């Protein structure tokens, strides 16, 4: 009798488990049944926000549900990342992340309220987000070599602005200074928009910033690019040299990627990945994104995205050691 009761209980428990799994699978198969949220760590109108909204509109049409952008700026991406990491892993919240949130923050902070490698699963790689060294359109500085030479000739008198010493742009500025042995005075700002205004106003001589935030000003003839941080020249800006042409091997591009809270059903991850990859392979979407600054660069699978993240950790760990950047 006891054996029969045990068997009966086991079968009952197994039935409950099977029912729960079937229910979960059915829910994932029916996804999406309501609006989807993409959390961003940047404010409305920023470079990442512009790209996210471009894609969200098309993803909503492809999936038949609205994709809502939720901006959570501040704290060097920590506020937005924490919000996304603590959201339910039900396929209705994703995190539109930057390099800083998923990689470089690991080398800036001793502790964070989220774990970039454990709290998220990779979904899709969105784009490369090139950075550039820029000057005013009427600046007498005509090249990166000229900027370096001027800074060496008059140490600390030639200024190069960036979005904070521990930001992505700040790290790039420090690496350029170190590798060229330049003496540029690195000026920190709380936001790229403020740094741009001071550059235009003549308070600083140069700026390191992402193209997503500055491309329109270049097209309007108000700013001029001296060099881009990608390893190869950018097709739309083919006349602009790379930093690597002055510093061989230099590659410090930013990027955007979509991730989901750990535990999100694999079926949903795969479907969102396939939807985005199809859109990013569309010529019109690629052209529109390039006009904003970033370069569409889909990867073959969520696993490939995860492998890329690991490679980035190796590269940025080395860069942090090179400039003596210690977590605080």
- Output the DSSP codes for 86-142: TS-SSSSEEEEEEHHHHTGGGGT-S--SS-TTTSEEEEEEEEEE-EEEEEETT-S--
Q: Which residue has the higher pLDDT, 168 or 59?
A: 59
Cα separation of 65 and 36, whole Å? 7
Q: Residue 227: pLDDT above 90?
A: yes
Cα separation of 31 and 164, whole Å? 41
Instruction: Tell me the per-residue pLDDT of 24-83, one tens digit each, with 9 for 90 and over.
Output: 444 567 899 999 999 999 999 888 899 999 999 999 999 999 999 999 998 889 999 999
- The residue written with tokens 């490698």 in the block is 117
- Which range, 46-55, 196-205, 208-217, 310-319, is most confident? 196-205
Say what percent of the chain tops pLDDT 70: 91
Q: Residue 21: pLDDT above 50?
A: no
Domains of the chain: residue spans and CATH: 31-130+253-322 (3.40.190.150), 131-245 (3.40.190.10)
> 71 in the Ramachandran plot: left (φ > 0), alpha (ψ -120 to 50) or beta?
beta
- pTM comes to 0.81
Cα separation of 277 and 301, whole Å? 9
Residue pair 42/129 in contact (Cβ under 8 Å)? The answer is no
Q: What average pLDDT does the structure give for the chain? A: 89
CB 11: neighbour CB atoms within 10 A?
Answer: 10
Cα separation of 320 and 328, whole Å? 13
Tell me, what's the pLDDT at 28? Answer: 64
Tell me, what's the pLDDT at 27? Answer: 54
Cα separation of 159 and 95, whole Å? 35
Q: CA angle 139-169-150, nearest 5°?
A: 35
Residue pair 275/269 in contact (Cβ under 8 Å)? The answer is no
Q: Which residue has the higher pLDDT, 212 or 201?
A: 201
Q: Residue 201: pLDDT above 80?
A: yes
Give residues with Cβ within 8 angstroms of 174, minimum separation 6: 165, 186, 323, 325
Q: Residue 243: pLDDT above 60?
A: yes
| 232: confidence class by pLDDT, cuts 50, 70, 90 | very high
Cα separation of 319 and 313, whole Å? 10
Q: Residue 216: pLDDT above 60?
A: yes
């Amino acid at each position: 009798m006891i054996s029969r009761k045990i068997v009966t209980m086991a079968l009952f428990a197994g039935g409950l488990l099977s029912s729960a799994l079937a229910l979960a699978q059915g829910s994932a198969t029916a996804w999406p049944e309501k609006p989807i949220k993409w959390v961003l760590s940047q404010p409305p109108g920023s470079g990442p926000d512009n790209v996210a909204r471009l894609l969200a509109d098309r993803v909503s049409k492809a999936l038949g549900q609205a994709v809502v952008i939720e901006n959570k700026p501040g704290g060097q991406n920590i506020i937005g990342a924490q919000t996304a990491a603590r959201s339910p892993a039900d396929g209705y919240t994703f995190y539109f992340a930057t390099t800083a949130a998923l990689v470089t923050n690991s080398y800036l902070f001793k502790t964070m309220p989220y774990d970039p490698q454990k709290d998220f699963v990779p979904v899709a790689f969105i784009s490369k987000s090139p950075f550039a060294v820029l000057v005013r359109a009427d600046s007498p500085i005509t090249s990166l070599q000229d900027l370096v030479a001027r800074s060496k000739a008059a140490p600390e008198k030639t200024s190069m602005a960036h979005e904070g010493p521990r930001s992505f742009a700040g790290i790039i500025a420090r690496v350029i200074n170190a590798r060229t042995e330049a003496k540029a005075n690195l000026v920190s700002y709380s936001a790229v928009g403020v740094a741009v205004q001071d550059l235009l106003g003549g308070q600083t001589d140069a700026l390191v910033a992402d193209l997503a935030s500055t491309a329109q000003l270049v097209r309007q003839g108000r700013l001029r690019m001296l060099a881009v941080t990608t390893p190869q020249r950018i097709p739309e800006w083919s006349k602009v040299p790379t930093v690597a042409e002055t510093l061989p091997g230099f590659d410090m591009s930013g990027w955007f990627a979509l991730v989901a809270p750990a535990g999100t059903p694999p079926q949903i991850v795969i479907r969102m990945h396939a939807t985005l990859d199809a859109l990013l392979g569309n010529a019109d979407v690629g052209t529109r994104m390039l006009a904003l600054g970033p370069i569409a660069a889909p990867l073959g699978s969520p696993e490939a995205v995860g492998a890329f993240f690991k490679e980035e950790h190796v590269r940025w760990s080395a860069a942090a050691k090179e400039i003596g950047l210690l977590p605080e």
